[in-house]
Structure 1
Amino acid sequence: MLSRVANSLYWMSRNAERAENNARILDVQLLQMIEASDEELVRDDDWKLIYEICASTDMMEYIKSLPAYNEDQLVYYLAMEEENFNSVASCVRFIRENARVSRDHITDDYWEVWNRCYLTLQDMDTENLSVREMQQFLQKVKNTALTSQGIVESSMSRGVEYQMIKIGKWLERAEKTARILNVVCERTLARSAAQQSEDYYYWLAALRMTNGYDAYLKANPPKMDPSLVLAFLVSNSSFPRSIRYCLNHMREAIVKLEDGKVSHYSWELFAKIDQLTADFDDFNFQDLEQQDMMNFLNEFQNGCNEIGQIFSKTYYLIDPDSENYKSTQTQTESAKGITSMKYKIEHTNIFKYDTVVDQSMNSIRLKPRTDEVQRLLSYRADITPASLTKEHIDIWGNNVETFFIAEHHQHLEVKTTSIVSIQKSPFIHQIDYSPEMRAIFHSKLFGEHYLAYLSNTAYTYLNPEQIEQVDRELGKFDNPVQYALDVMNFIHDHFTYNGESTDVSTKASESFDLRKGVCQDITHVMLGILRSKHIPARYVSGYLYVGENSALVGDAASHAWVEFMVPGVGWVGLDPTNNVEALENHIRVGVGRDYNDVSPVQGVYRGGSQSLDVKVSVSLLDQ
């Protein structure tokens, strides 16, 4: 599985757990607000408790300082505020977007329940919601989260996808329980210092916020004894929201992810989990002072943050900034990274023949791909003269449509219309080329698996003298990620985009000597250089969205760029024609060894010579 998919599954799960936790915590507060009489308003300390758990007291004070402040604004910020990445509504948006990205790796039922919740949110007039309406939305989110958990357990196979979802869930849950207990300990300690004895409410709130009140009463006497509540929520091995339970199940999921082995790259992760688990055995919660408990929970939260960072580093996920995450539990990287772009592509090929053609057999590769970062939303092919098409997937995974025209014709038009959504995923500059990646890159298995993309073709071959010129310019090859970037810069600096100097049959060696060509030629040259260093690289055919006032070139027809394989990460795109990463502006249609594997239109016919007119239009659609 590509790390971008694993990243989406992991954060989808964490945000689903976060949405349910925050919805439940806020719902407890709203219930008290609705039930309170005019004489019995919710105390300011209660809101401080909620904001310390779900946001920060600084944000609470800022909201209260606004000129037109009312208590509903405190609710709105935690439930609906779009700029609050931890609001319940923001979590729902993140879940839906991450689920869309990893759609092929989750069940349809899981997608549908969260998509319905998202559509409900979209239909709401969020600026004019009453407290009651916000409470109804929170209830829907809770029900959706619980339903989605049931779907995961009942219909997902226990493969990598399942384990990534479980790891995200247990880590998020452990952190939230620790955070709740930490805040409650601090609150009750402050009240004791002020000689206030009514701690019952806070420990009851801790149980309700963790959905553990009923389970606690079944296991303990009916009293709010802080030591009993702490022991129950920290070390109970059978309650699904206790810290120990979460840690045990998170470790179990990682063990299954690793097939029961502790490898050279995962030992650090196991060591940290085992260290935290062992810490529980050294504490007697019955005799522990609250200050000691606060210190323990603080250390545990730091440990959970460290586990999240180690896990992300181990599996090449995108990890949020640790300091920001520690204080606000915000998935800032996902907030920036998972938004998407939607495009409409119209591609028209018009063939005109000098003489009447009595029959022709054709194949087209014009249907965009669906993968981890790109999703095809709709596609239509219109062929004149009218013809039925048959579809199949070729050896490279491309969509191919074939059609036969038996009638006489002197004109053939193929027009395709596609709508595609692409996830924004700036990635390559975040890749840290680790010793583990280096070992995989130099392994025999890696070379054998990507042999097709290591062997040069007639289109991509460069002679030794040409490779030597590149070596003199770029120096010693060591890191394939950095080398690929250097090659892209080299080509952009030394080659000129020129549509008159080459044609469709021009080889890389010819383009290299000319130092000019179109995107097809420039891509072939880069492929030849990368493959000479045993870097698996493939030709990508697709479209480029340029937009207004852009310096990018290559949108007049099909565009071409390079993807190279990074161990543990997957295929990473670079556009040497424009000296940019191939990201959300690049719409992928086909991949192969060279242009010949992905030619948009191929065919044979019986008749005279032909002329071809190509028109491509790529437009950005509103989200």
Structure 2
Amino acid sequence: MKIGIRYETIYRYDRAVRFSPHDVRLFPRTDRFLQITRLDFQTKPKTTVRFGRDVFDNVVASCFFDQPSEMLELRLALDAEAAKKNPFDFVLSRRAVQMPFNYEEDIASIICAYCKRQTRESLSLPGWKPPSRESPRETVATLVELTKTFHRTISYERREEGAAQSPVETLRRQRGACRDTAVLLAEILRDLGLAARVVSGYLRETDEEVRRAEGSLHAWTEVFLPGAGWVGLDPTNGIFCNDNFIAAAVGLRPADITPISGSFYHRDRVPAEMKSRLELITL
């Protein structure tokens, strides 16, 4: 299937301001299920853009603005070819068929950072009991149940700006944006001894089961399962991630996957507004 991604963000200010370097993480991570065939990234004011990869192997466009401006525009237009992906088309290693399990030493030494909790508070998801050594459970069925429990327990709220809530705050409110539930799920998976990372990207809303992106960027979680690799879980919609999910950035923390990071400055306090638009189309 051929798809197009059209994204723009426009910042407006009451007067001309200067800008720090801006890092943009909007570019899909390619694999055998997704290949980019055309990419056009534009800024206004025009500026030098340098493409590179960060420590998580995300493509990052670093933008350096020399002149002050009353407006900043970032526009992305890309076309891609996507193949069908069955999220359950994998075979787990024997030791990972049931939870809890331990990673083999050679794997654990590489992914240990993803197993470490990023917050300190105790977390307990209402209505869900984790597996234990005394009462192990089948891994895939357990993760399906956990993801569905998130969907039932944490109500969705749209919040395009601002940092992610802390996991304990999301549990207290039982409400959150997609980035809030993604962070909470990652922390609960780490409590289970699993390697987890947060993901930002795009969600094609093609059926009734997947309906909570609403023309905005989306966030979800990935867990590392021996034999399967990184497997996507979407707690916002309560499902495993298929080819409708297009990852742009992965990381340990929300700051690692921020689509656009940067700031403006002026000697006075300057009011600002932001407008974003995202369109995913079938070509």
* Aligned mate of 1:599, from 258, 262, 275: 258
Report the structure, 1 or 2, having the larger strand content. Answer: 2
> Higher RCO, 1 or 2 (CA under 8 Å, sep at least 6)?
2
Residues of 2 paired with 1:407 and 1:500: CA distance? 31
Partner of 2:205: helix, strand, or coil?
coil
TM-score, normalising length: structure 1: 0.42
Given that 2:23 and 2:61 are in contact with CA atoms closer than 8 Å, whether structure 1 keeps it comes out as yes
Taking only aligned residues, the RMSD between alpha carbons, in angstroms, comes to: 2.4
Q: Which amino acid aligns with 1:473?
A: W
2:277 corresponding residue in structure 1: 615
Residues of 2 paired with 1:521 and 1:606: CA distance? 28
- Post-superposition Cα deviations, 1:477-497, rounded to whole Å, max 9, x if no partner, equal 434433322210110110111
- Post-superposition Cα deviations, 1:435-488, rounded to whole Å, max 9, x if no partner, equal 24469843233222111211222xxx3622x33x55x62342434433322210
* Aligned mate of 1:455, from 116, 119, 123: 116
Partner of 2:249: helix, strand, or coil?
strand
Residues of 1 paired with 2:109 and 2:14: CA distance? 48
Given that 1:484 and 1:530 are in contact with CA atoms closer than 8 Å, whether structure 2 keeps it comes out as no
Partner of 1:484: helix, strand, or coil?
helix
Change (3 A) 1:526 1:359: closer
* Aligned mate of 2:61, from 401, 408, 425: 401
Superposition pairs of residues 283-362 of structure 1, within 5 angstroms: 341-362=1-22
* Aligned mate of 1:499, from 136, 158, 176: 158
* Aligned mate of 1:392, from 52, 56, 78: 52
| Alpha-carbon offset, residue 515 of structure 1 | 0.6
TM-score, normalising length: structure 2: 0.88
Partner of 1:512: helix, strand, or coil?
helix
Given that 1:501 and 1:516 are in contact with CA atoms closer than 8 Å, whether structure 2 keeps it comes out as no
Report the structure, 1 or 2, having the larger helix content. Answer: 1
Q: Which amino acid aligns with 1:513?
A: R
Residues of 2 paired with 1:549 and 1:534: CA distance? 33
Change (3 A) 1:583 1:549: closer
Partner of 2:86: helix, strand, or coil?
coil
Given that 1:368 and 1:418 are in contact with CA atoms closer than 8 Å, whether structure 2 keeps it comes out as no
Change (3 A) 1:450 1:405: same
Residues of 2 paired with 1:392 and 1:368: CA distance? 13
Change (3 A) 1:381 1:512: same
Percent identity of equivalent pairs: 24
* Aligned mate of 2:33, from 353, 373, 378: 373
Structure 1 unaligned residues grouped into runs of 5+? 1-340
2:107 corresponding residue in structure 1: 446
| Alpha-carbon offset, residue 373 of structure 1 | 2.1
Given that 2:43 and 2:74 are in contact with CA atoms closer than 8 Å, whether structure 1 keeps it comes out as yes
| Alpha-carbon offset, residue 612 of structure 1 | 1.4
Structure 2 unaligned residues grouped into runs of 5+? none
Change (3 A) 1:454 1:589: same
Structure whose alpha-carbon radius of gyration is higher:
1
| Alpha-carbon offset, residue 557 of structure 1 | 1.3
Length, aligned pairs only: 274
Residues of 2 paired with 1:540 and 1:500: CA distance? 17
Given that 2:170 and 2:176 are in contact with CA atoms closer than 8 Å, whether structure 1 keeps it comes out as yes
Residues of 2 paired with 1:482 and 1:363: CA distance? 38
Partner of 1:492: helix, strand, or coil?
helix
Given that 2:92 and 2:226 are in contact with CA atoms closer than 8 Å, whether structure 1 keeps it comes out as no
Change (3 A) 1:359 1:493: closer
- Post-superposition Cα deviations, 1:113-133, rounded to whole Å, max 9, x if no partner, equal xxxxxxxxxxxxxxxxxxxxx
Given that 2:181 and 2:236 are in contact with CA atoms closer than 8 Å, whether structure 1 keeps it comes out as yes
1:474 corresponding residue in structure 2: 129
Partner of 1:587: helix, strand, or coil?
strand
